[in-house]
Amino acid sequence: MEFAAVVIIFINILLAVNLAVGTTPIMVWWERRVSGFMQGRSGPNRAHIGGIRLGGLVQSVADMIKLAFKEDFIPAFIKHKMFFIMAPVIMFICSFLTVGVIPFADRLVIDGVTYTMQALPIDLGILWFLAFAGLSVYGIVLGGYASTSKFGILSSIRAIAQVISYEASMGLAIISMLIVYGSVNLSDIAEYQGGLLFGFIPAWGIIMQPLAALIFIVAAFAETNRAPFDLAEGESELVAGYHTEYSAMRFGLFQVSEFAAMSAASALIVTMFFGGYQVPWLNTQALQENINIVLFAMMIILPATIYFFTQWIKKNNTWVDENDPRAKESKILIKIFKGIAIAVVVILALLLLFGLGTNGTNIATAMIQVSTFLLKFFLINFFFVWIRWTLLRFRYDQLQLLGWKVLLPLALLNIVITATYVLVLGA
């Protein structure tokens, strides 16, 4: 195998692993800070390594280390020890594999060879997501069953009923998208969204199919067991549901797989409805043709953003006690950010001076697209957190009514309308 192929495959797998697992501490941190912001308190901001707090991110690293080194404990009354051990692993693997089919950038051409920017080079796309989203419920079921407690069993029953009823609407919403895109391959879907609608609107899924987008996003919340659909772990009724009896890293695995499922869902929402890796109004070809202008724009925008960010740090990141190491954090961070800004400007200027070859243009385009994808991905993840701290949890019967009596008929109606439109206009 060639060197370029090895590097590209390695980068893709690294991206997929980091999106699925590596984002967990960041998501835990966001969840705490956003909830703090919404409830008018500050959230975690004390823990530090040599004075560096990173706005509380160090706290979730500390929590992670604590979970990993805690004693692994299995209660004596657990009859099915094998199920008890397997459950978090099944859930983790299923959530983890879903990210594999997400394209992070357009097909990359290096020395005439085309590489797909996916961790798993298969074209099953959306079906792969559906399959593993359906399988991940076995983790919850086995965990709840093996816990040998009423809370666990009740939460498993709720999780199954919820996943089955929302999978139907989700599949139907996907079908209406497939009628538009004409392919199940996520790379094709993202490529389609690089076009323009009526000549000036980006042809994103959410603009062409707002109803399908709404149904899919609601169903994705239910599939990932996130609030307002987190009935499986409703604290007020079921203690902690299926992970009541779990502790240490087994509980940690449940937690990680919950965030991995959330990441997979938001990566899929980005790819299906928000243009994937496409920069709005600049598809791959346009990017490659105008790469110098884009790099020049980045050379101005990035340092400006960093300037405003450092001003924000100076104003908000303070510590009262002068002698505490945490008081110096702002200065250190500002220096680091200024260094990054200078490095970015120098590298971009050098690239502009000496010009990019064909390979260089392609790689730069891919890097811009991966950054765009990551930006959209984190925005959708923020949306997940935002919803969790805004909406109240549904009651169980309300959840079933919403699934079967509202979302399912709407999804069917949407399919009929889309199919008629496509058939009549021949689009």
Partner 1 sequence: MIDIFFILFAILAIGGAITMITAEEPMYATLGLLISILSVGGFFALLNASFLFMVQIIVYAGAVLTLFLFLLMFLNIKKEDLPHEPKKYMLITLGAVLMIPINMLIFKALSTLPNIDMVLVESDFGTIKALGMQLYTEWLLPFELISVLLLVALIGVIVLAKQKSKKEIKQ
CB count in 10 Å sphere of residue 63:
18
Give me the least distance between CB of 56 and partner 1, in Å please: 38
What is the rounded distance in angstroms from the CA atom of residue 133 to the CA atom of residue 24? 18
DSSP class of residue 107 equals P
Between 88 and 275, name the residue whose CB sits nearer to partner 1.
88
In the complex, minimum distance from the CB of residue 188 to partner 1, in angstroms, rounded to a whole number? 11
Residue 159 vs 256, nearer CB to partner 1: 159
Rounded to a whole number of angstroms, the minimum distance from the CB of residue 215 to partner 1 is: 18
Looking at the chain, the number of H-run helices and the number of E-run strands are 18, 4
Which is nearer to partner 1, 57 or 159 (by Cβ)?
A: 159
> Which tokens in the block code for residue 339?
């260094």
Q: Between 123 and 237, whose beta carbon lies closer to partner 1? A: 123
Q: For binding to partner 1 (CB under 8 A), which residues are involved?
A: 80, 83, 122-124, 127-128, 130-131, 133-135, 137-138, 141, 144-145, 153, 156-157, 160-161, 163-164, 167, 183-184
Nearer to partner 1, 82 or 320 (CB): 82
Residue 55 — left, alpha, or beta (φ > 0 → left; ψ -120 to 50 → alpha)? left
Q: Which is nearer to partner 1, 159 or 279 (CB)?
A: 159
Q: Which residues pair with 52 in a beta bridge?
A: 49
Minimum separation from the CB atom of position 247 to partner 1 (A): 23
Rounded Cα distance, 183 and 175, in Å: 10
In whole angstroms, the minimum distance from the beta carbon of 160 to partner 1 comes to 4
Would you say the C-alpha torsion 20, 266, 174, 167 has a positive or negative sign?
Answer: positive
Residue 296, SS3 per DSSP: helix
Alpha-carbon gap, residue 66 to 274, rounded angstroms: 37
Dihedral sign (CA 21, 23, 26, 31): negative
Q: Which is nearer to partner 1, 18 or 183 (CB)?
A: 183
Report, in Å, the least distance between residue 161 CB and partner 1. Answer: 6
Mention every residue, 6+ apart, whose C-beta is less than 8 A from residue 99: 16, 19, 20, 119, 260, 263, 264, 267
Q: Which residue lies nearer to partner 1 by CB, 11 or 94?
A: 94
What is the torsional sign of CA 175, 177, 183, 187? negative
Kindly state the smallest distance separating residue 6's Cβ from partner 1, in Å: 21
- Find out whether 104 and 48 touch, Cβ atoms under 8 Å: no
| Residues 267, 270: Cα–Cα separation, whole Å | 5
CB of 167 to partner 1, least distance (A): 7
